[in-house]
Amino acid sequence: MNRQGAVPPVGSWSAVTRQGHREEMRDGEINATSSRQFAVEIVRTLRTAGHTALFAGGCVRDSLLGRTAKDYDVATTASPDAVRALFGRKRTLAIGASFGVIMVVGPGDAGHVEVATFRTEGPYLDGRRPESVAFCSPEEDARRRDFTINGMFFDPIEERIFDFVGGEADLSAKVIRAIGDPRERVREDKLRMLRAVRFAATLDFSLDLVTADAIRELSSELIVVSAERIAQELKKMLVDRHRRRAIELACDVKLFRIILPELDPVQAQDAWNETLCRIELLQRPSFELALASLLLPIEDEAQVRGICRRLKLSNDELDKTVWLIVHRDDLNDAPELTLSTLKRILAHPYRDDLLRLHRASCLATSSSLATIEFCEDYLKTTSPDVIDPTPLVTGDDLIALGYKPGPKFKTLLETLRDAQLNLEIASREQALELARAEWNR
């Protein structure tokens, strides 16, 4: 390499990456210390074999920001074949060999590390992936990346930063800036528009004005990106504590109308401010809760389902989001509900998110919290066995009595369950007696 960045300030890399990593992760999770040690060992092995090897991209950015790196990427002068030969085919996966990317499988809880050959890229004819790649120098590789804060390299052996694109300066200034011509970067990969918004919001950075203008100009081209990739970015934004800013920024650069056009004409300004306030007030929400809060102004269940399907959400994500919206008003009169109705709601698997949605909605409109507090007090003072007791009788019991399954059969089961939840019956004998009376009515 013929150009080196400045040695990082004391503590800017090594101390940060070691800080807080001693705590063991839960089973099945990647251990941050093991992950970094494995990545360093990969760099060391490549260097010993005569190749240049550096940490690249997000792990450099996150560590310089004092954040725990979620994973590590290594960039190297070694070809994909050389990487596989060096680490062995049993320990490597050719996940993107044609683009110079090999996955090296780590031991235990170390996770996997992507090892990519320094490369330049040909034209992005589909707006997402290059048609070809050519191996190159680290500086050339840096200049084909998306944003300056993601274009830095780091030598973990000598603890030295290599910054060819001004990433350190933009980290210090808290700016998301495209490398080179932002229109060119966006035209290469349209998903970069949404990633720019996500980085600016979640890192609490500003979006470079020239980069923002390029996104506004090309926003309509986001439609070429797959729904799955858009949904991935949306999930990361909505579960982050800066989710309100992410939505506002997406609106400002004209991306929100492409992602969720259904919300554009639905809400007047007051209603939109209420929506923004509601999603901001959510505390560590699941993606489904945050999405339901965002889509709450849409009252048409079929339309909500259509949005979830367009985003290619999983069946579980769709069902939970729709359920929360359909049942958003169920607790409005909680103290006046029958015990059976109240218990059915509070026994539902999505109950906690429904309570969170209700609280955020009340706070967003400066409404009374009396009903939500009533439900919370009820949950604290009532045993789960009382809220959701084992049914006194089942369908098999009714069949044993000679009753045939059908609409009347289903209604009878619901009547018996309501009576049990309302504390009107308390034994199997009472339930069977009620069953006979209701069936013969």
Is the confidence at residue 371, as pLDDT, over 90? yes
In a domain, 318, yes or no: no
Is the confidence at residue 121, as pLDDT, over 90? no
Same domain, 85 and 158: yes
Question: pLDDT value at position 122?
Answer: 54
* CATH at 166: 3.30.460.10
Average pLDDT over residues 131-141: 76
**What is the distance between the alpha carbons of residues 345 and 388, in angstroms, rounded to a whole number?**
10
Domains: count for the chain = 3
Question: pLDDT value at position 26?
Answer: 35
In a domain, 121, yes or no: yes
The average confidence (pLDDT) of the chain is: 89
User: With bands split at pLDDT 50, 70 and 90, how would you rate the model's confidence at 267?
Assistant: low
Instruction: Please tell me the least confidently modeled range out of 189-193, 265-269, 287-291, 397-401.
Output: 265-269
Same domain, 382 and 414: no
Is the confidence at residue 353, as pLDDT, over 80? yes
User: With bands split at pLDDT 50, 70 and 90, how would you rate the model's confidence at 5?
Assistant: very low
Give ∠ CA 366-243-261 in degrees, rounded to 5: 90
Question: pLDDT value at position 373?
Answer: 97
Look up residue 302 and give its two tokens. 């079929």
Same domain, 400 and 350: no
In a domain, 364, yes or no: yes
In a domain, 279, yes or no: no
Last residue of a domain, one of 170, 201, 217: 170
Instruction: Please tell me the least confidently modeled range out of 18-32, 52-66, 333-347.
Output: 18-32
In a domain, 376, yes or no: yes
Same domain, 338 and 435: no
Average pLDDT over residues 212-232: 97
Identify the bridge partners of residue 24 per DSSP, sorted by sequence position. Answer: none
Same domain, 352 and 401: no
In a domain, 176, yes or no: no
User: With bands split at pLDDT 50, 70 and 90, how would you rate the model's confidence at 133?
Assistant: low
Residues 89-99: pLDDT tens digits?
A: 999 999 876 77
* DSSP-assigned letter for residue 173: H
User: With bands split at pLDDT 50, 70 and 90, how would you rate the model's confidence at 100?
Assistant: confident
Pairing of strands 101-105, 92-96: antiparallel
**What is the distance between the alpha carbons of residues 93 and 90, in angstroms, rounded to a whole number?**
8
Average pLDDT over residues 392-420: 94
Question: pLDDT value at position 128?
Answer: 52
Question: Looking only at Cα atoms, what is the longest distance across the chain?
Answer: 92
Same domain, 401 and 381: no
Question: pLDDT value at position 374?
Answer: 97
**Residue 127, amino acid:** G
In a domain, 93, yes or no: yes
Last residue of a domain, one of 343, 358, 387: 387
**What is the distance between the alpha carbons of residues 401 and 398, in angstroms, rounded to a whole number?**
5
Residue 406 belongs to what domain range? 395-439
Question: pLDDT value at position 22?
Answer: 27
In a domain, 319, yes or no: no
Average pLDDT over residues 301-318: 97
Same domain, 381 and 411: no
Beta strands per DSSP E along 26-140: 53-56, 73-76, 92-96, 101-105, 112-117, 119-121, 133-135
* DSSP-assigned letter for residue 68: P
Identify the bridge partners of residue 93 per DSSP, sorted by sequence position. Answer: 103
Average pLDDT over residues 274-287: 96
Closest Cα to residue 189, out of 213, 216, 149, 222?
222
Same domain, 6 and 81: yes
Last residue of a domain, one of 117, 143, 170: 170
Same domain, 382 and 404: no
Percentage of the chain surpassing pLDDT 70? Answer: 89
Pairing of strands 53-56, 112-117: unpaired
Same domain, 100 and 117: yes
Same domain, 117 and 148: yes
Is the confidence at residue 7, as pLDDT, over 60? no
Is the confidence at residue 319, as pLDDT, over 80? yes
Q: What is the enclosing helix (H) or strand (E) of 175?
A: strand 175-176
Same domain, 107 and 51: yes
**What is the distance between the alpha carbons of residues 169 and 149, in angstroms, rounded to a whole number?**
9
